[in-house]
Amino acid sequence: MKKRVTITLDENLFGGLNGIIDGVKVRNLSQAIEFLIRKSMSENRCAVILAGGPEEKLKVGDMFSPLFAVGNKTVIERMVASLKSSKFTEIYVVGRKAVLSDIFKKMGDGSSFGVTLNYVEETARAEAGTAGTLRLLKGRLSAPFICLYCDIVFDYDLENIWNFHIRNSENTTLLLKTSKTPVKHGVVGLEGNKVVSFVQKPKTASSYIVYGGIFVADQKIFDVPGSSLEHDVFPQLAKERLLSGYVGSGTSRHVHGPR
């Protein structure tokens, strides 16, 4: 959906905009302005790691899943390294006090990893569900952001889904993958790049395309009602055709216990 606005520009800037118009990718002044805005958004990258909900749900043995070692690195170290390699250097971690405390002991403020880690505590009285956890960041983020679940191990190039979202999406873009057991995931109906349906862990599935646990969103996602991203927000966005899908080349899995 497009909105008409009136703006006033410095004459020199106006002349510079004309220089961006190439008649192919950028055909007019409106597209030139939109191109520059999207380019600016692409260069100012922010990430969110969701670690909310009751602490016991994140336990893997005697530790929390972000601190579980996969090879020679913990889940959180792998995640931060992947974000850093794709230029996401401002990272918010949202979760309960005990989880944040253990992550901080391992990661500190992120400076030794080349990023800035911001910790946002979720209290036991906070709105339940993944959407409630994410909504704690409303007002803190002023541009599109990438969001990951704290227990995800993946090998996707995050640059690809980010660039796809900046070019194509009006609200939220889900990273999608195929699965032989779709009923264990969020199952999507896809028409082109549009997700037209989203059902979390259905009893039966007519599609093998599922949600991969990573998404990119604009601030508009904060205003979609519901406590759960998977049960409320994503299905509503799909119904309104505001949910895009990017089929990634790679793998992802949740860490739920020793492997």
Instruction: State the pairing for strand pair 186-191/194-200.
Output: antiparallel
- On whether residue 19 sits in a domain, the answer given is no
- The domain tally of the chain equals 1
259 pLDDT tier (thresholds 50, 70, 90): very low
- On whether residue 117 sits in a domain, the answer given is yes
- On whether residue 13 sits in a domain, the answer given is no
Exposure on the CB side of residue 119, measured as CA atoms within 13 A: 17
pLDDT in tens, 125-135: 766 799 999 99
pTM of the model: 0.83
| Burial annotation 228-237 (CB, 10 A radius, 16+ → b, else e) | bbbbbbbbeb
Take residue 48 and report the two structure tokens written for it.
Answer: 């969110």
pLDDT in tens, 199-251: 999 999 989 999 999 999 999 999 999 999 999 999 999 999 999 999 998 88
CATH number of domain containing 187 = 3.90.550.10
Question: Taking residues 8-36, what's their average pLDDT?
Answer: 66
- On whether residue 27 sits in a domain, the answer given is no
